[in-house]
Amino acid sequence: MATYLEIPLTADPQTFRITLSGIDYQMKVQYRDAGGTGWILDVADASGNPLVSGIPLVTGTDLLGQYSYLGFGGRLWVQGSADPDDVPTFDDLGIGSHLFWVTD
């Protein structure tokens, strides 16, 4: 059975530390308006060394799927409150759109 942990976000650029599946990470979330990119996520190890950068917060896919070789031990998933496919907008990150850590 899958376990879901919501990563609390607000509709502001932010950098924070979080422990996921027993591993400490630093995450940075920022909004890029150019080209309609939207919200993006950078993940670093506990020391701040980049692991993956520039992941768009999109729905319907494991954001870490293409990085499975890094052994994260879970999946990052974005989902809208009203509709699972609602992509986060500038104003609704953490309100109408949520980021989840999913483990099996």
Predicted local confidence at residue 34, as pLDDT: 79
pLDDT tens sequence across 73-101: 999 999 999 888 888 999 999 999 999 99
Predicted local confidence at residue 23, as pLDDT: 97
pLDDT tens sequence across 55-76: 999 999 999 999 999 999 999 9
Predicted local confidence at residue 37, as pLDDT: 85
Predicted local confidence at residue 33, as pLDDT: 87
Residue 38 has pLDDT above 90, yes or no: yes
C-alpha closest to that of 18 among 4, 33, 32, 8: 8
Distance from C-alpha of 93 to C-alpha of 3, rounded to nearest angstrom: 21
> Three-state DSSP class for 69?
helix
What are the extents of the domains in the chain? 3-103
